[in-house]
Amino acid sequence: MVIKVLLVHKYLLPVALLYTGLITWLSLGKIIIPGNIAVQGSDKIGHLLAYFVFTIIWFLFFFYSERQKRRFFESLWISSLAGFLYGILMEFCQAIFTDYRSPDWYDFIANTSGIILSVCVLSVLQKKLVKKRRY
């Protein structure tokens, strides 16, 4: 059981970095959706979910990583702040580096909503997460 836990912890940083790369690609890439599929507000739901998962993955890295050894709320604060700043960075990068994407304050609000939702979920699960940390 301990070996299984340690192996999972070994992959937290690569998973977090790959997911961050995926969000970067989705935020800055030219994505072509076949057909005229358009659901009102679906991109905002995508932003909310993307940053919800982003914050949770980075929280898991900061909280469970052997190298980090951070407390629950410190890990939560750092991952939330990282998500918030990363969301702002992606919106600015869309304005600066692309001519086919544009920054949108509603995207920023959706990103922040995903972060807040993840903070709420993680706070509710705090006791279970702390208990699992004690190998």
24 φ, ψ to 5°?
Answer: -60, -45
List pLDDT tens digits, range 42-81.
Answer: 788 989 999 999 999 999 999 887 666 788 999 999 999 9
User: 103 and 91 in contact (C-beta within 8 Å)?
Assistant: yes
- Over range 100-110, report the average pLDDT: 86
The residues spanned by each domain of the chain are 2-31+44-133
Helices and strands (H and E) in the chain: how many: 6, 0
Residue reference for tokens 């702002």? 88
Q: What is the pLDDT of residue 29?
A: 83
